[in-house]
Structure 1
Amino acid sequence: MSRIGKKPVELPAGVTASLSGQTIEVKGPKGTLSFSATDDVTITIDGNTVTVDPRGSSKRARQQWGMSRSMIANLVTGVTEGFKKELDIVGVGYRASAQGNSIKLNLGLSHDVDFPVPAGVTVTTPKPTEIILEGIDAQLVGETAAKIREWRRPEPYKGKGIRYRGEYIFQKEGKKK
């Protein structure tokens, strides 16, 4: 039994959900999102709750059960509150600045990196060493943050690079003479 899949997803006030086949569409104050579930699960909408049930006892059906419920919960969270990822830049001379729908990253490379931000994600840089990504799609916000972090991952000796806010970097000890 899936512990996550058993819980129904509550729809808060101002959020509506509609079902057509295996595709659920959730509308809220911040926008509209949809998710297409596989044929291994059954989605039902009862008033202000959405429930997901497996269509069998196969391993794949049980896997899709919990995953589909989590995806629907993310849709509801996205259209009500939205998602936010915060990145910190650590390193001498490393900085970022938001310019329209792109970010200019100065990361100690021989060139500046102009990173285009996808539609649906808004970027702000309150300080030159902070990047804040916000949007309603959890997957898109997370993937964009990961792609930005990929340009200069934190290294284990000095800790320089782009890291998530609150991320712990294990510091290695350097060479001893």
Structure 2
Amino acid sequence: MSRIGKKSIILPPGIQSHIKESYITITGPKGTLSYNLSEMINIQNENNQLQLSLIKTNKESKALYGLSRTIINNMVIGVSKGFEKKLEIRGVGYRCQMNNNNLILNIGYSHPVIIEPPKDISIEVEDNINIIVSGINKEQVGQIAAKIRSTRPPEPYKEKGIRYSGEIIRKKVGKAGK
């Protein structure tokens, strides 16, 4: 049985939850998120605490139990505080800039790479080499950050490319000369 699913989710002040059958909507100062629970999981709101419980006990429901609790907890954190991922660009001549709402990356290709964020995600550029992706949906923030990183992932020989802030890339030794 999942130990994560048993924990209750405490709603901070200013956060409302609306439960209609298996559909939950969380509203807060940053926005609104919703999620459709499985029919095998029941959710109740008691004294500003959300508690999940299993209706059926089988392998699939046990797997969804902890997952559902984590997704709902991330929704509560997202509408109250929000999420952000920071990326760094390293390499001679590599830089980025914002044009309207689009991110333009000049990262060693013959053409600039243009990334359009979804409407809920905001991208900021600092010093032409630091990128901050922020939003209320943790999954979308991580997906856009991974998409930006995948345009030029860090390579282990010269350590050039786009990496997450704080990510450690182990440098490999190049070819040994005679």
User: What TM-score bracket applies, with the shorter chain setting the length?
Assistant: over 0.9
The runs of 5 or more residues in structure 1 that have no matched partner are none
The normalised TM-score by structure 1 is 0.97
CA displacement at 1:116 relative to structure 2: 0.9
CA distance in 1, matches of 2:76, 2:120: 16
CA displacement at 1:47 relative to structure 2: 2.1
Could you give the per-residue CA deviations for residues 25-78 of structure 1, whole angstroms, max 9, x where no partner exists? 001111111011111211111120001112222111011000000000001000
Aligned pairs, number:
177
Which residue of structure 1 lines up, in the alignment, with residue 36 of structure 2?
A: 36
2:150 is aligned with 1:168: no
CA displacement at 1:120 relative to structure 2: 0.4
CA distance in 1, matches of 2:86, 2:98: 14
Counterpart of 2:16, as a letter, is T
Counterpart of 2:40, as a letter, is D
Structure 1 segments of 4+ aligned residues over 4 angstroms from their partners = none
CA distance in 1, matches of 2:123, 2:66: 31
The runs of 5 or more residues in structure 2 that have no matched partner are none
Could you give the per-residue CA deviations for residues 118-152 of structure 1, whole angstroms, max 9, x where no partner exists? 11011110111100011111111111111111100
The CA RMSD measured in Å over matched residues stands at 0.9
The normalised TM-score by structure 2 is 0.97
Could you give the per-residue CA deviations for residues 85-134 of structure 1, whole angstroms, max 9, x where no partner exists? 10000111111111221101000001011111111011110111100011
> How much identity, in percent, do the aligned residues show?
42
Which residue of structure 2 lines up, in the alignment, with residue 123 of structure 1?
A: 123
Secondary structure of 1:72's counterpart equals: helix
Secondary structure of 1:119's counterpart equals: coil
Which residue of structure 2 lines up, in the alignment, with residue 109 of structure 1?
A: 109
Secondary structure of 2:4's counterpart equals: helix
